[in-house]
Amino acid sequence: MPFRLVIFDRESAVMGINPDDSSVGAVVHHSRPVVRMAEELFLSLWDQGFEPFAEEQRARDGGISAQEAEFLRLLVHGATDEQVARKLGVSMRTVRRIAAKLSEQVGASGRFELGVRAAQRGWVD
């Protein structure tokens, strides 16, 4: 949230007077349009949020991270290691580490086999 906000029973909204300094105080709004606007702001920001531990859970469940998924997408589209490193914004060493980890995870002995096995698992289209 861009500022502190508390909504009570869809009837009242408490907002800080100064969003940069909560010690200044707060104001309680009972106006239905103001409360509704506060609700809508909260809900729109909530919808844009993300599950902070989803990536770790997916990795624990045998899935892959977003970075690994992008690596595989680039791999199956024929990108070289250098191109993958540039697109992901990582070093060549990191690209090789990702490839080795995924290859070990699926039991692949080469890049082509890695692409095939990743597709079989539904990790790439």
- In this predicted model, what pLDDT tens digit does every residue of 50-108 receive, in sequence order? 666 665 555 555 678 889 999 999 999 999 999 999 999 989 999 999 999 999 999 99
Where in the chain are the domains?
Answer: 5-48, 54-120
pLDDT band at 4 (very low <50, low <70, confident <90, very high): confident
pTM: 0.53
List alpha helices for the chain, DSSP H. Answer: 32-48, 54-60, 66-76, 81-88, 92-106, 111-120
**CA–CA gap between residue 13 and residue 52 (Å, rounded):** 27
pLDDT digit string, tens, across residues 6-40: 999 999 999 999 888 878 899 999 999 999 999 99
Element (H, E) at 58: helix 54-60
* Domain 54-120 = CATH 3.40.630.40: no
